[in-house]
């Protein structure tokens, strides 16, 4: 399924990779995506975990294993949990974890505010959410089929019909 998605997804300056990660998180874990773009520092409000900052990284096509999630200083204090989702080049989910904000921030401060996926996932308090994210990806893309739309930069995105309202409102 991920191979069918990859040709239609494209990283753009509008942050579509991050938006996809947020939608995927909500589809897999529940919660409500933060629609207020002025509410900086968290992307999802979850009934059990509170304010969640969702960070994602897509592996580069050149084979490097760049897995780090950056944490800008200004976001600190504005989220309760960090979700870090790692995508393969074809947008399949390689891994995902949730970590409490305090533990993630402490690790980020020791590593110039860039946390490698494996290091964050090894935190004693981290919760592995890989399986849920993979199920969420399948549900997100197969629920009503995928459609293609033109992005602002002229690229294409495959969009599940269930997400078209989000994308229409975003662009």
Residue 109 backbone phi and psi in degrees, to 5: -70, -25
More confident residue, 100 or 156: 100
If you average pLDDT over residues 74-88, what whole number do you get?
A: 93
Which pLDDT value is given to residue 52? 95
Residues 66, 52, 19, 70, CA torsion sign: negative
Q: Which CATH number fits domain 2-165: 1.10.3470, 3.40.50, 1.10.1060, 3.40.210?
A: 3.40.210
Q: What is the pLDDT of residue 19?
A: 82
Q: Which run of H or of E encompasses 98?
A: strand 93-100
Domain ranges of the chain: 2-165
- Residue 146 scores a pLDDT above 80: no
Mean pLDDT of 11-37: 75
d(C-alpha 82, C-alpha 25), whole Å: 11
pLDDT digits (tens, 9 = 90+) for 117-128: 999 999 999 999
pLDDT average, residue stretch 80-98: 92
pLDDT of residue 1: 41
Are 49 and 81 in contact, with CB atoms under 8 Å apart? yes
Across the range 54-63, mean pLDDT stands at 89
pLDDT value at residue 39: 62
Best mean pLDDT range from 28-42, 53-67, 102-116, 149-163: 102-116
Strand partners, 115: 69
Residue 51 is predicted with a pLDDT of 95
Q: Please give the backbone phi and psi of residue 83, each rounded to the nearest 5 degrees, phi first.
A: -105, 125
């Amino acid at each position: 399924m991920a191979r069918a998605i990859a040709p239609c997804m494209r990283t753009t300056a509008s942050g579509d990779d991050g938006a996809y990660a947020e939608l995927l998180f909500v589809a897999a874990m529940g919660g409500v995506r933060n629609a207020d773009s002025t509410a900086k520092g968290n992307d999802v409000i979850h009934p059990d975990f509170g304010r969640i900052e969702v960070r994602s990284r897509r592996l580069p096509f050149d084979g490097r294993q760049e897995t780090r999630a950056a944490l800008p200083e200004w976001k600190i204090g504005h989220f309760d949990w960090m979700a870090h989702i790692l995508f393969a080049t074809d947008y399949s989910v390689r891994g995902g974890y949730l970590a409490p904000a305090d533990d993630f921030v402490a690790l980020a401060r020791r590593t110039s505010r860039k946390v490698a996926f494996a290091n964050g996932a090894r935190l004693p308090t981290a919760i592995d959410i890989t399986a849920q994210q993979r199920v969420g990806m399948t549900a997100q893309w197969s629920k009503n089929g995928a459609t293609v739309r033109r992005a602002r930069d002229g690229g294409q995105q495959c969009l599940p019909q269930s997400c078209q309202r989000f994308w229409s409102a975003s662009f």
